[in-house]
């Protein structure tokens, strides 16, 4: 059996980290694509030289030609411009929409059977646009947001309760950004729901509310510190977890930006929901019971995504 092929569109900070992780995990051979000449080739060569030390055989190549992504099993898209301080994800809309058009057409022409994971922001709009431009089935195109958002939430919760991150399971829904909906009732430490831990006096509602807020603005906090770009280690790690779920048919239940039609009262939008990822791509969308507050928060999030799609259609009439 030949090795799997992973194409990474965008060889910037996240793209390079994705390639490094995919190689170390031997997920398959890796093609790094970028519009800038020399960057994907240089990064591929540098990363290939990790092989003898780390002991991986994954072949890593860099390219500026979409023809080289042909036959990719998984494609992870990070092409575009990252947020600068003071810039919201939505400011990126116009610039990155054009990038999604080029990438979508490149995928359609060269690798229409791939499972595509979009990371480019503003995520919920970009994954939708990428799906439209590529014409791939909805279950084969997903957005990476919830895995990262819930990792951020879990990290802060583990610190708060002074427990291992391995024992924290947190749950987020909705759009990626300020309107994401961390669901406290479904977030647990070794199966114990957070509200029960508050009742036991292990934390307070105020402290958990502050953690929820910090999770919502988790990306912005890092942008503010880095000053020259946005987070990349945890976003890449999250993308790789989704790729592994598909490649190894793991049937993992992960929060992802998936195309929702009907469930959660959403009709025909990409929004963050729990999904099962396996060899069939997005195999299931899991609906959970939400209280009125979470429902209202999810609606705010959905409305924000809808607004972005209206803006996209205004910028590119072919999407209307």
Q: Which position among 24, 102, 311, 319 is part of the footprint of ligand APR (CB under 6 A)?
A: 102
Diameter of the chain measured on Cα atoms: 59
Give catalytic status of residue 20 as yes or no.
no
> Whole-angstrom Cα distance, residue 33 to residue 21?
16
The residue range among 55-63, 230-238, 245-253, 288-296 that interacts with ligand APR, by the rule CB under 6 A, is 230-238
Residue located via tokens 């402290």 = 207
Letter string b/e over residues 114-145, b meaning 16 or more CB atoms within 10 A of that residue's CB: bbbbbbbbbbbbbbbbbbbbbebebbbbbbbb
Minimum separation from the CB atom of position 66 to ligand APR (A): 9
Our finding on whether 157 is near ligand APR (CB under 6 A) is: no
Q: Contact letters (x/-) for ligand APR, 55-94, by CB under 6 A?
A: -----------------------xxx-xx-----------
Grouping H, G, I as helix, E, B as strand and the rest as coil, residue 316 is coil
Q: Residue 241 contacts by C-beta under 8 Å, 6 or more apart in sequence?
A: 147, 252, 254
Instruction: Give the separation between CA 275 and CA 302, rounded to whole angstroms.
Output: 17
Which pair of structure tokens corresponds to residue 205?
A: 């509602």
Site for ligand APR in 18-57 (CB under 6 A): 34-36, 39
At 163, give phi and psi (nearest 5°).
-130, 170
Among 4, 7, 8, 13, binds ligand APR (CB under 6 A): 13
Which residues 105-134 are close enough to bind ligand APR by CB under 6 A? Answer: 119-121
Q: Which residues are annotated as a binding site for NAD(+)?
A: 10-15, 34, 96, 119-121
User: Which pair of structure tokens corresponds to residue 168?
Assistant: 């924290």
At closest approach, how far in Å is the CB of 31 from ligand APR? Answer: 12
Judged by DSSP in three states, 182 sits in strand
The residue range among 181-189, 201-209, 224-232, 312-320 that interacts with ligand APR, by the rule CB under 6 A, is 224-232
Among 6, 8, 9, 256, binds ligand APR (CB under 6 A): 9
Residue 262, helix vs strand vs coil: coil
Closer CB to ligand APR, residue 102 or residue 290? 102
Q: Find the residue with minimal CB distance to ligand APR.
A: 12
**Closest approach of ligand APR to the CB of residue 76, in Å:** 10
Task: Please report, in angstroms and rounded to a whole number, the separation of the first and last CA atoms in the chain.
Answer: 43
Cα-only R_g, the chain: 19
By CB under 6 A, the count of residues binding ligand APR is 27
Active site members: 176
Interacting residue ranges for ligand APR, rule: CB under 6 A: 9-15, 34-36, 39, 78-80, 82-83, 96, 99, 102-103, 119-121, 229-230, 232, 235
């Amino acid at each position: 059996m030949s090795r799997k092929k992973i194409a990474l569109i965008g060889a910037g900070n996240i793209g390079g980290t994705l390639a490094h992780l995919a190689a170390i995990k031997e997920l398959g051979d890796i093609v790094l694509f970028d519009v800038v000449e020399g960057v994907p080739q240089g990064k591929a060569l540098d990363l290939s030289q990790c092989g003898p030390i780390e002991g991986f055989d994954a072949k890593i190549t860099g390219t500026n030609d979409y023809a080289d992504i042909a036959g990719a099993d998984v494609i992870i898209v990070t092409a575009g411009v990252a947020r600068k301080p003071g810039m919201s994800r939505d400011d990126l809309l116009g610039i990155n929409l054009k990038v999604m058009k080029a990438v979508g057409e490149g995928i359609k022409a060269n690798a229409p059977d791939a499972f595509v994971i979009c990371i480019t922001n503003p995520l919920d709009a970009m994954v939708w646009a990428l799906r439209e431009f590529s014409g791939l089935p909805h279950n084969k195109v997903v957005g990476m947001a919830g895995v990262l958002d819930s990792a951020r939430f879990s990290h802060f919760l583990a610190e708060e309760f002074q427990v291992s991150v391995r024992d924290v399971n947190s749950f987020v829904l909705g759009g990626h950004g300020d309107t994401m909906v961390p669901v406290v009732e479904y977030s647990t430490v070794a199966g114990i729901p957070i509200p029960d831990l508050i009742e036991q006096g292990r934390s307070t509602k105020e402290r958990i509310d502050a953690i929820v807020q910090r999770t919502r603005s988790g990306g912005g906090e890092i942008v503010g510190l880095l000053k020259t770009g946005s987070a990349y280690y945890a976003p890449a790690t999250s993308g790789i977890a989704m790729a592994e779920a598909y490649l190894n048919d793991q049937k993992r239940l992960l929060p992802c930006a998936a195309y929702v039609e009907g469930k959660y009262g959403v009709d025909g939008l990409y929004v963050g929901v729990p999904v099962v990822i396996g060899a069939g791509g997005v195999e299931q969308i899991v609906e959970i019971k939400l209280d009125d507050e979470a429902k209202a928060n999810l609606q705010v999030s959905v409305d924000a995504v809808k607004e972005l799609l209206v803006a996209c259609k205004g910028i590119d009439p072919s999407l209307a």
